[in-house]
């Protein structure tokens, strides 16, 4: 009986040790892989951009076309930080609808398996006037990439003709559009997504709403000063 009890005790201790190791590894994994994007969200600083006007001539518009301030966003639909940025941009566009709009440009990173296809899907939704809805659909459903079809995302966004949508995703001209945005991103010398260009400044990361508010105010003042000089 003593031998059996000792063996049972050793087995029990072993099980406890194994459980502790598993629990510790799960905590570490959570900190490294789940917490990491959050930690990097506001990393970075604004830097000067010389030919900044060239970046706002293309891209999908979010917000009013007559807004005096345009913020260009180079984004990746599979990027967690880009998803975090959507909440900041939605609030900014809601609060300052008459002041600012967003130009969204594609930069699907090669490390993200579904990013390129998601970019193509959004461009095809745009051809049916549903980019903003597809933008929301893709970022909201980011964790289900690979589990749902792009047509399913398109239907959720209100895309009417899924046949045309499907053919568009296989059209080389759609891929060329993504390539043009990628070339602009590389010309900018950006180092990650999301990267924002606002006026003569660029930022990689997720700026706070206060930062963007301040930036919009400075751009509005600059615009007024330009008009007075003319």
Same domain, 159 and 196: yes
Same domain, 185 and 91: yes
Check residue 159 and give its pLDDT: 98
Same domain, 27 and 139: no
Same domain, 53 and 145: yes
Same domain, 5 and 94: no
Strands (E), the chain: 47-48, 60-62, 69-75, 100-106, 195-198, 201-204
**Number of domains into which the chain is organized:** 2
pLDDT tens readout for residues 192-202: 999 999 989 99
pLDDT tens readout for residues 47-63: 999 899 999 999 999 99
Same domain, 138 and 212: yes
Same domain, 14 and 107: no
Same domain, 117 and 79: yes
Check residue 166 and give its pLDDT: 97
Same domain, 79 and 33: no
Pick the closest to residue 212 from 223, 193, 199 (CA basis): 199
Check residue 21 and give its pLDDT: 36
Check residue 11 and give its pLDDT: 41
Predicted TM-score (pTM) of this structure: 0.79
For residue 101, the enclosing domain spans: 47-229
pLDDT tens readout for residues 175-193: 999 999 999 999 999 999 9
Same domain, 53 and 35: no
- Non-local (6+) Cβ contacts of 42 within 8 A are 205, 206, 207, 208
Q: What percent of the chain has pLDDT over 70?
A: 78
pLDDT tens readout for residues 52-105: 999 999 999 999 999 999 999 999 999 999 999 999 999 999 999 999 999 999
On the question of pLDDT at 2 being above 80, the answer is no
| Burial class of residue 40 (count of CB atoms within 10 Å of its CB; 0-12, 13-18, 19+) | middle
Q: Of 21-25, 56-60, 115-119, where does mean pLDDT reach its minimum?
A: 21-25
Please give the angle made by the CA atoms of 63, 65 and 68, to the nearest 5 degrees: 95
Same domain, 224 and 162: yes
CATH number, position 55: 3.40.30.10
Q: How confident is the model at residue 229 (pLDDT cuts 50, 70, 90)?
A: low
Report yes or no: 116 and 150 within 8 Å, Cβ to Cβ.
no
Same domain, 157 and 223: yes
Check residue 223 and give its pLDDT: 75
């Amino acid at each position: 009986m003593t031998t059996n009890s000792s063996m049972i005790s050793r087995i029990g201790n072993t099980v406890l040790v194994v459980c502790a190791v598993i629990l510790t590894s799960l905590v570490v994994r959570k900190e490294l892989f789940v917490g990491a994007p959050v930690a990097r969200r506001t990393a970075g600083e604004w830097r000067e951009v010389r030919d900044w006007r060239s970046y706002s001539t293309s891209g999908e518009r979010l917000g009013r076309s007559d807004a005096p301030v345009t913020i260009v966003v180079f984004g990746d639909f599979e990027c967690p930080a880009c998803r975090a940025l959507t909440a900041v941009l939605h609030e900014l566009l809601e609060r300052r609808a008459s002041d600012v709009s967003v130009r969204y440009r594609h930069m699907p990173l090669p490390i993200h398996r579904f990013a390129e296809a998601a970019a193509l899907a959004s461009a095809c939704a745009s051809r049916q006037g549903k980019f903003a809805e597809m933008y929301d659909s893709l970022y909201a459903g980011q964790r289900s990439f690979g589990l749902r079809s792009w047509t399913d995302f398109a239907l959720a966004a209100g895309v009417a003709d899924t046949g045309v949508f499907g053919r568009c995703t296989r059209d080389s001209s759609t891929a060329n559009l993504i390539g043009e945005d990628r070339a602009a991103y590389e010309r900018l010398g950006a180092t990650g997504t999301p990267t924002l260009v606002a006026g003569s400044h660029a930022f990689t990361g997720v700026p706070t709403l206060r930062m963007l508010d301040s930036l919009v105010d400075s751009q509005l003042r600059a615009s007024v000063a330009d008009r007075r000089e003319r």
